[in-house]
Amino acid sequence: MDSVYKNPAEPIEARIKNLLSLMTLKEKIGQMTQIERSVATPSAIKDFTIGSVFCAPPNSVTSEKEVSSDWADMIDGFQKLALESRLGIPIIYGTDAVHGNNNVYGTTIFPHNVALGATRDAELIQRIGAATSLELRASGIHYTFAPCVAVCKDPRWGRCYESYSENTEIVRKMTSFVSGLQGQPPDNHPRGYPFVAGRNKIIACAKHFVGDGGTEKGVNEGNTILSYEDLEKIHMAPYVDCIAQGVSTIMVSYSSWNGVKLHGHHFLINEILKEKLGFKGFVISDWEGIDELCQPYGSDYRYCISTAINAGIDMVMVPFRCEKFMEELTSLVQSGEVPIVRIDDAVERILRVKFIAELFEFPLTDRSLLDTVGCKIHRDLAREAVRKSLVLLKNGKDPSKPFIPLNKKAKRILVSGTHANDIGYQCGGWTCTKYGSSGQITIGTTILDAVKEAVGHETEVIYEQYPSTNFIESNEFSFAIVAIGEAPYAECGGDNKELVIPFNGPKIINIVADKIPTLVILISGRPLVLEQSLLEKMEALVAAWLPGTEGQGITDVVFGDHDFKGKLPMTWFRSVEHLDQHVEGVNSCDPLFPLGYGLTCNKENSYD
């Protein structure tokens, strides 16, 4: 009887019941604990039966280039320790792989979600999920904290680029990423039950439950003020689609709903998510998310734990003080403040996901998958995603004389701007580091490299990041390509009340476009302020979002090998002041470009 849980031929629920009956309280609470890899000592994993380990992306680029095989070695080392514990329960190793396996050098970095929302292509997003799952599993990783299915209502939000759209229906369509990561469940799959189709698929996590994209003025971790009916209609609807696809885990938001922190929200987690929506996977906290239930931050840790666990959180991202967490939760159970049935429910959910993901049968990395990392098939897929995500906002000062497609056989082209030759800027945040970085931080093709490859041998391409008027006047250019945009950022570091183009971007445009016909490529995680006078100077404007490593996807389109397909996933505002006046579904503020806007080279404009 004791070996039922080890037998893959037994029903999953029977295996769960059997294993749970063998576990001590300490082992159960260990399964509810997720720790950061830097504190994942042999003692922590074996003696405390830790349920999950995760990696926090570094805050800065290091000289060490950890490739996928290095990660597989590290994670397999943790896993072997877990298998040596009394019951041999494998760990789940998690990471923030939000646009490819973005913490590992040399992987394929796909466009961020805001760009994918511009494609409106659910099948493409599913293929990206499938490619991401292979590159993750090649690195030994079992679990990604993705996708973010927030409905971003304000581009001032620092996580705007993690949202597919301001429009709920577009976000719902893009949840196909879940079935790409985990596999497509069969038609008779039980409602709310997690699904992972075998050892080469990844445990997904829909986040951040719920309303994180609707906070006042787009403040990260802020307060979303809405009726329950509007919260359900606007922000909760994508979770229903994720659950229908068998999403295995859901992460709770740092934000509040009508002043109540989500990490302690019994009604939304237990009564709505678990009971009404029937979610049978596990609910995970965000990084030290339960600590925010107390002010000063984490001051009454015992209260934080009891409130969060009783509210329905199953696994807690501690990440550094697991002993303190486990000690306090043990005491809370012994005192009756946290019922043992709540602990058993949490552990059942965690074990369910582990059994479904076949971690007991295949706990270690399949090294044959290493050939998929950064492979041509995946890079071609990312290139396709870039092509389909580009939104053409302007094409020619005179509508009868389109500027794009550009001439590949031009005599001399000027390429300039801060973002023309910078992989780090192309990829944005959550790339090699949490906040992203500039420079050649991973393998990829910059816009400059792509232009040089796209044009004919007789065309001279001159790169000058900050060209002067004298430099321009001393050369005879056919046209210019100016790539400007935002520096990488993440979370609160990206909150922005002004949304102006940084790095003197407008000045570069003015200098260049005053003398040369100019295409401007804007690299950003959201719409930014575009003054009318600036817009009038340029011949053409492309919103390229944060395209990732495959810059050739941009030149594929601007030089005419493919037409533009992208449609705005967000309304492009005229001024920041207008953002406070936006009314759902009504362009009452006369936007610069409305939701769904996008020109093509074959017709004047096209709306979806």
DSSP 3-state assignment of 25? helix
Q: Is 491 a catalytic residue?
A: yes
pLDDT of residue 153 exceeding 60: yes
Confidence band, pLDDT 50/70/90 cuts, at residue 61: low
Report if pTM > 0.85: yes
Q: What are the strands of the beta sheet with 316-317, ordered from one edge? A: 143-144, 92-95, 52-54, 33-36, 316-317
Model pLDDT for residues 532-564, shown as the tens digit of each residue: 999 999 999 999 999 999 999 999 999 999 999
Q: Which two three-digit tokens encode residue 459?
A: 């065309």
Fold adopted by 390-580: Rossmann fold (3.40.50)
The answer to whether residue 514 is catalytic is: no
pLDDT (tens digit per residue) in 84-125: 999 999 999 999 999 999 999 999 999 999 999 999 999 999
- Cβ atoms of 502 and 90 within 8 Å: the answer is no
Question: What is the pLDDT at residue 399?
Answer: 80
Put residue 374 in one of left, alpha, beta given phi > 0 → left and psi -120 to 50 → alpha.
Answer: left
Residue 129 scores a pLDDT above 90: yes
Strands 518-523 and 223-224: unpaired
First to last CA, the chain: 59
Residue pair 393/572 in contact by the 8 Å Cβ criterion:
yes
Query: Which of these is catalytic: 96, 358, 486, 491?
Result: 491
Q: Where are the domains of the chain?
A: 4-53+64-372, 390-580
Fold type of domain 4-53+64-372: TIM Barrel (3.20.20)
Report how far residue 585's alpha carbon sits from residue 573's, in angstroms, rounded to the nearest whole number: 14
Q: How many CB atoms lie within 10 A of CB 475?
A: 15
pLDDT for residue 62 = 65
286, 292, 358, 556: which one is catalytic?
A: 286
What is the per-residue pLDDT for 283? 99
DSSP state of 462: E
Residues 307-354: pLDDT tens digits? Answer: 999 999 999 999 999 999 999 999 999 999 999 999 999 999 999 999
Mean model confidence pLDDT for the chain: 95
Instruction: Indicate if the pLDDT at residue 232 is higher than 50.
Output: yes
586 confidence band (pLDDT: 50, 70, 90): very low
Asked if residues 132 and 178 have their Cβ atoms less than 8 Å apart, the reply is no
How far is 103 from 173, CA to CA, in rounded Å? 27
Judge whether 368 and 28 are in contact, CB under 8 Å: no
